[in-house]
Structure 1
Amino acid sequence: MATVINKSVGPIGYGLMGFTWRPEPPPLDQAIAALKTALSNGMTLWNGAEFYGPPEYNSMTLLKAYFTKYPEDADKVTLIIKGGVDLKTLKPDGSPDNVRKSLDNIISQLGGTKKLDLFSCSRRDPNTPLDVTFGVIQKEYIDTGKLGAIALSECNANTINEAAKIAKIGTVEVELSIFTPDILKNGVAAACAQHGIPITAYSPIGRGILTGRFKEVTDLQQFGYIATFPRFQKAAFEHNLKLVNQVEALAKEKGCTPAQLAVGWVHSQSNRPGLPTIIPIPGATTAARVEENSRVVKLTEEDMKKINDIIESFDVAGERYPDGAPRNT
């Protein structure tokens, strides 16, 4: 059993972005049913953000509705919420005033239904030193019992090493999948292992492409912002489908779905030599998809070799994010 800030969490967590940060969010009843299914299947590490949706419907308002209906579940969930950005521009702002504004807003919108276990700035603010940002969080929120711990998000190895010297870091949220294995080679995973920090691995299904559901670029339009990413433009998308086809073939051979194989590969990286605890946090907006993602597929060393050989031989087309979007800092 994995642990985050001394709390036991399931081997697979849950990403909440898809519920509220898309052109047409799913109905609230559907979202609450999916959340309940996640918890019932051991997915107890939940990850959302202050900016996942407008003020009237975002991660916190959804969670408030859920925990109002199921107050007995509050202590069963370990909750991470990202903030620390200008909500109008989404630019990083780790200044004391904005961090206070962000945390106060998150806590207020949760409405006392659930304690905020971990908070991270979505990206590092280049204009505010980490010790200044962390100092406010520690003294005004952790020490006063309003918050459990500090987390990091979308950061590089240098930031992890620097942050670990200043504060106790509860987890690091970074992207990891068959589609995006970068952190295994760029020092991020190694830095987390060095400091004993678990990784919360977002987009383990490659933003949905590794499910095999997307066969045409137009299939992505319902997901709004993601459709603008370089990897999902027509030429790159058609090239990247060749990787998806190989994943689908391996999943068929294994007797699982492509999504389960993809999540299983991420989960199987956890605590390998030189790597920290790694908890994949796939997102899904229906109970059926949650059920699918929650199944832990155990991969043999032969399975891992087949997947790793595919990764090594395939060059993914397109950058992770569009031009102008913040990168790991």
Structure 2
Amino acid sequence: MPSSTQVTIAGRKVGTLGFGLMNYTWRATNTPDEQAFAGIHTAIANGTNLLNSADFYGTQDPYDNLHLLNRYFTKYPADAAKVVLSIKGGVIPHQLKPDGSPENIRRSIDNILEKLDGKAKLDVFTVARVDRTVDIEDTWRTVKEYIDAGKVGGLGLSEVSAATVRHALEIVPVAYLELEVSLWATEIYENGVAEVCREHGIPIVAYSPLGRGFLTGQLKSPDDIPEGDMRRRFDRFKPENFAKNLALVEAVEKIAKKKGVTPAQLALAWVIQYGVKKGVRVIPIFGATKQEQVVENLKAVDIKLTEEDFADIDALLKSIKPAGGRYNQHAENTLYQ
């Protein structure tokens, strides 16, 4: 069984956990630099060196994620050599519509490289979603041009099917798959995606491992979600589903209390260690806007789940199914393409 701590992406070793930067610049109010920098620096200092961003995480210059990264590496230039930087793109700005045309892929990568301004390397460019209106091979070959030119370290794929992975491997090596994996998103173990990753040794980067904050137990009603927060548009957070999904959260809280850990720590530990049990390397990329949240989540790597713990969680997942889709009906159509 592979070790959960020995994972290589684009030729570089990464830690057991990754850190997602979306929430710093893709909320109603951006996180101040001082606060964001403290979280990022704490993560890196503790070995969480896979940083995950996107060129559409906030699209108003200079308040987007890429400018944030530029400012961070300007202040902490030594950290640039420590991180593996993965950035998604390949969508139409402001519309979040997939556009895998060679023209848009070039625009996206060039935009990322321009805003990073040489402060850090683009280790992985991830195609955010499959665009079925273009020849998908053209999308991958365009990214490969940048890889061959030494401007990008590798190709990442997001929310793709097992068949798409096999197809992509005929064109270009795949650095990793980025997929939603958590206690309420376990589809990769049922649809063949985890299996193809096991076969080819492809790591899985698990976004939203805390169910967009739901699994932490901090949200008790839809009213706890701030106005303007994108979660208000997602099915699982709608009032008709929220109360049903609280049953899952409350059950997770009971197991966590029995274990002597927080629900967030339990959720992260499960994503890591269940992947190991299944023979795949799964790296949860958690997001946290406060430094104390980063510190809490980092402790998940020290938690050892027993067979009894796995049995309790397995029974829970079989008895309580999430109500509602991960996104909304329109966005759901872009998943596992």
Output the TM-score relative to the length of structure 1. 0.97
Counterpart pick for 1:149 among 150, 154, 169: 154
What secondary structure does 1:148 align onto?
A: coil
Distance 1:307 1:223, change over 3 A: farther
Instruction: Give a deviation string over 1:200-259, Cα, whole Å, max 9, x none.
Output: 001111110110000010111256111110100112100100110011111111111000
Match of 1:40 in 2: 45
1:288 to 2:296 alignment: no
Displacement of 1:107 after TM fit? 0.6
Distance 1:44 1:200, change over 3 A: same
Match of 2:112 in 1: 106
Instruction: Give a deviation string over 1:99-122, Cα, whole Å, max 9, x none.
Output: 100000011011110010000111
1:255 to 2:260 alignment: yes
Distance 1:99 1:5 in 2: 19
Distance 1:270 1:41 in 2: 22
How do 1:80-95 residues align onto structure 2 when only pairs under 5 Å count? 80-95=86-101
What secondary structure does 2:336 align onto?
A: coil
What secondary structure does 2:88 align onto?
A: strand
What secondary structure does 1:269 align onto?
A: helix
Distance 2:174 2:58 in 1: 26
Q: Which amino acid aligns with 2:31?
A: P
Instruction: Give a deviation string over 1:276-317, Cα, whole Å, max 9, x none.
Output: 211011111111101111111221111111111100111210
Distance 2:319 2:96 in 1: 36
Match of 1:310 in 2: 316
1:10 to 2:15 alignment: yes
Gaps of 5+ in 2: 1-5
Distance 2:24 2:326 in 1: 21
Distance 1:173 1:249 in 2: 29
Displacement of 1:271 after TM fit? 3.0
Match of 1:97 in 2: 103
Output the TM-score relative to the length of structure 2. 0.94
Aligned length: 327
Distance 2:121 2:72 in 1: 13
Residue 56 of structure 2 contacts residue 94 of structure 2 at CA under 8 Å; is this kept in 1?
no
How do 1:105-144 residues align onto structure 2 when only pairs under 5 Å count? 105-139=111-145, 141-144=146-149
How do 1:1-329 residues align onto structure 2 when only pairs under 5 Å count? 1-56=6-61, 57-139=63-145, 141-222=146-227, 224-273=229-278, 275-295=279-299, 296=301, 297-325=303-331, 326-329=334-337
Distance 1:124 1:267 in 2: 26
Gaps of 5+ in 1: none
Displacement of 1:321 after TM fit? 1.1
Distance 1:299 1:227 in 2: 33
Q: Which of 32-41 and 123-132 deviates more? A: 123-132
Distance 1:17 1:187 in 2: 28
Aligned CA-pair RMSD: 1.2
Q: Which amino acid aligns with 2:335?
A: R
Q: Which amino acid aligns with 1:203?
A: S
Residue 164 of structure 1 contacts residue 195 of structure 1 at CA under 8 Å; is this kept in 2?
no
Residue 41 of structure 1 contacts residue 291 of structure 1 at CA under 8 Å; is this kept in 2?
no
